[in-house]
């Protein structure tokens, strides 16, 4: 009887619970909120977020959920419309502003320890007494040497608002010395190097289109013209772009009055044309523009304007393919949106934006696997989008700027010894060791001829082989003879960086093995 009663009660309870569950679900499903189907007012999104806040089972982080919703929504647009939380927005604006707030040093991390590469003249670190070659072991109370601290974390520890203080403890010749440094505004240069390759050929490398790009570039160009420059090699490789107005100003220096530079147009932005005014100071300079698969945005505006106007020879590899214009929209909480509002078009009318795809972020890797980076025949162009330059040369839209002169990525001179040294950052660590040994000599060198003479007299190749051997790396018989002419200019460049010439020394020494620069120095009759 008890068993039967228990079974009966269980059956009744089960039925009741089933009904309750059904009623609960039924009730929730039918708690309808009015939605008139007008998606143009974003009402459905607001309704859903409101329901989550009012009814979700646990506490909701409204800020995180809102940020996630915005990020997801923008992700359905194009790859360059993005939401930036306050920290990321600040970093983005700092990168392009031409200055940042910090202590004013440049450093490398060759052996899990930050080594001061250069101290910005007149900056807070120089005033406090930091020196080139100092090893940073602690920032305030946090040890960073030998702790596998990521380099970006080191940067964040040392950067901060102007006027704030930070204590940086360094190891200098075995002595630990703390320095109290008051942060300040530090200029960031976008012209990495500007020098003469020979009596008539100048070289300028530009890394970003920041707020100071035009002023820095024109100062460098005027200096090189005074030294006899009639041919400029303008290096935009690995330049991911920046401010469009700076690209226009640079184009204007090379073009005749009325030459088209670029035009922009979008659904909510009427067409806007930018033409040259003819007042440029470099219209008589022969021009070669270097690009690669990372060159994007403003770099492509410049390269496209020079190519379509038959003003310069484009040398290198197909550019990234970003033909969109973003407009900043900032909010009072410190966050912001970079929203694509228009496409830009080169003077011939081509949009060089590559197609959006699920593999958009891996496009460069796919170019490599297709063989495009090593063979001109593998370059992917949209033959349906044909345009013509001022002289009638055929160019294509829909996927970057295709160079006039293709230079493949050099994979032939990298021996196994070279590859193994790169994996272990042996060259960078060697350069640091050389500076430790010859600090007083290297830090006094301030002209290139003296630096080259110093490197030759100290037999850097022999010293490097000994250092590599201590790291367990030795070239196979005959391997060094094949590798040294390619590797040693790079090693010397890293050592030369520790002289007063800094980045100029680095590029002048490295450029010896740069096939793209070598090609750009040759005469090319394209027009």
Q: Which residues of 199-225 are buried (b: 16+ CB within 10 A; e: fewer)?
A: eebbbbbbbbbbbbbbebbbebbeebb
Band the pLDDT of 123: cuts 50, 70, 90: confident
18, pLDDT greater than 50: no
Q: pLDDT, tens digit, for every residue of 59-98?
A: 999 999 999 999 999 999 999 999 998 888 887 877 777 7
Token representation of residue 186: 């530090």
Cβ atoms of residues 265 and 233 within 8 Å: no
Band the pLDDT of 36: cuts 50, 70, 90: low
143, pLDDT greater than 60: yes
139, pLDDT greater than 50: yes
Q: Model pTM? A: 0.84
Strands (E), 95-227: 99-102, 105-108, 114-119, 135-139, 142-143, 165-172, 175-182, 184-187, 191-196, 201-206
Residue in the block written with tokens 């973003």: 326
Q: Note the residue count of the chain.
A: 527
- Please give the C-alpha separations between residue 409 and each of 216, 375, 399, 515, in angstroms, as whole numbers: 29, 9, 19, 9
Average pLDDT over residues 314-339: 94
* pLDDT score, position 16: 40
Average pLDDT over residues 13-27: 42
* pLDDT score, position 416: 93
Pick from 380, 367, 322: nearest CA to 346? 322
Average pLDDT, the chain: 88
Residue in 184, 235, 308, 514 annotated catalytic: 308
Residue in 322, 348, 415, 499 annotated catalytic: 322
* pLDDT score, position 195: 96
Average pLDDT over residues 346-368: 89
Tell me if residue 297 is catalytic.
yes
Between 3.30.565.60, 1.10.620.20, 3.30.420.40, 3.90.226.10, what CATH number should domain 191-406 receive? 3.90.226.10
Q: Can you give the residue ranges of every domain in the chain?
A: 1-31, 36-76, 99-187, 191-406, 416-517
Tell me if residue 134 is catalytic.
no
* pLDDT score, position 31: 57
* pLDDT score, position 32: 58
CATH class of 99-187: mainly beta
* pLDDT score, position 270: 96
Where is mean pLDDT largest: 186-195, 215-224, 358-367, 424-433? 215-224
Residue in the block written with tokens 């890394």: 207
- Count of other CB atoms within 10 angstroms of residue 334: 12
382, pLDDT greater than 90: no
* pLDDT score, position 153: 86
Q: pLDDT, tens digit, for every residue of 385-430?
A: 899 999 999 999 878 999 999 999 988 888 999 999 988 889 988 9
Tell me if residue 515 is catalytic.
no
Average pLDDT over residues 190-200: 95
Burial class (CB in 10 A: 0-12, 13-18, 19+), 288: buried
């Amino acid at each position: 009887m008890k068993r039967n009663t228990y079974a009966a009660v269980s059956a009744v309870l089960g039925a009741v619970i089933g009904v309750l569950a059904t009623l609960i679900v039924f009730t929730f499903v039918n708690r309808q909120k009015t939605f008139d189907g007008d998606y143009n007012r974003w009402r459905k999104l607001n309704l859903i977020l409101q329901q989550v806040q009012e009814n979700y089972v646990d506490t909701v982080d409204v800020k995180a959920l809102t940020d996630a919703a915005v990020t997801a929504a923008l992700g359905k647009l194009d790859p360059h419309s993005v939401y930036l939380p306050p920290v990321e927005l600040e970093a983005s604006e700092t990168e392009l502003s031409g200055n940042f707030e910090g202590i004013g040093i440049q450093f490398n991390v060759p052996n899990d320890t930050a080594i001061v590469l250069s101290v910005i003249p007149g900056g807070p670190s120089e005033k406090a007494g930091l020196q080139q070659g100092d090893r940073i072991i602690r920032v305030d109370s946090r040890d960073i040497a030998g702790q596998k601290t990521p380099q970006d974390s080191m940067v964040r520890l040392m950067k901060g608002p102007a006027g704030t203080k930070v204590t940086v403890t360094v190891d200098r010749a075995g002595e630990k010395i703390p320095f109290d440094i008051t942060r300040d505004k530090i200029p960031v240069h976008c012209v990495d190097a500007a020098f003469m390759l020979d009596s008539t050929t100048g070289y300028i490398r530009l890394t970003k289109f920041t707020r100071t790009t035009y002023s820095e570039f024109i100062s460098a160009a005027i200096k090189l013209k005074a030294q006899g420059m009639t041919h400029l090699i303008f290096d935009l490789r690995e330049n991911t772009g920046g401010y469009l107005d700076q690209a226009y100003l640079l184009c204007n220096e090379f073009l005749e009055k009325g030459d088209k530079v670029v035009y922009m147009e979008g659904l909510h932005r009427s067409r806007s044309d930018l033409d040259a005014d003819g007042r440029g100071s470099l219209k008589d300079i022969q021009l070669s523009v270097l690009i690669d698969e990372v060159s994007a945005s403003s770099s492509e505006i410049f390269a496209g304007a020079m190519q379509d106007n038959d003003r310069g020879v484009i040398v290198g590899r197909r550019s990234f393919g970003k033909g969109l214009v973003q407009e900043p929209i900032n909010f009072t909480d410190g966050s912001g949106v970079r929203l694509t509002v228009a496409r830009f078009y080169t003077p011939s009318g081509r949009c060089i934006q590559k197609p959006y795809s699920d593999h958009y972020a891996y496009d460069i890797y796919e170019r490599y696997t297709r063989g495009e980076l090593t063979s001109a025949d593998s370059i992917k162009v949209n033959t349906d989008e044909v345009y013509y330059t001022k002289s009638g040369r055929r160019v294509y839209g829909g996927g970057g700027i295709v160079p006039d002169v293709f230079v493949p990525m050099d994979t032939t001179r990298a021996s196994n010894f070279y590859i193994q040294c790169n994996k272990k950052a042996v060259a960078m660590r060697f350069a640091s060791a050389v500076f430790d040994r010859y600090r007083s000599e290297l830090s006094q060198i301030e002209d290139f001829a003296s630096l080259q003479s110093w490197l030759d007299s100290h037999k850097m190749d022999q010293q490097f082989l000994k250092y590599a051997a201590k790291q367990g790396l030795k070239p196979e018989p005959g391997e060094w003879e094949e590798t040294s002419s390619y590797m040693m200019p790079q090693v010397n460049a890293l050592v030369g960086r520790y002289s007063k010439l800094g980045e100029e020394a680095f590029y002048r020494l490295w450029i010896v093995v740069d096939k793209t620069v070598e090609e750009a120095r040759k005469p090319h009759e394209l027009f």
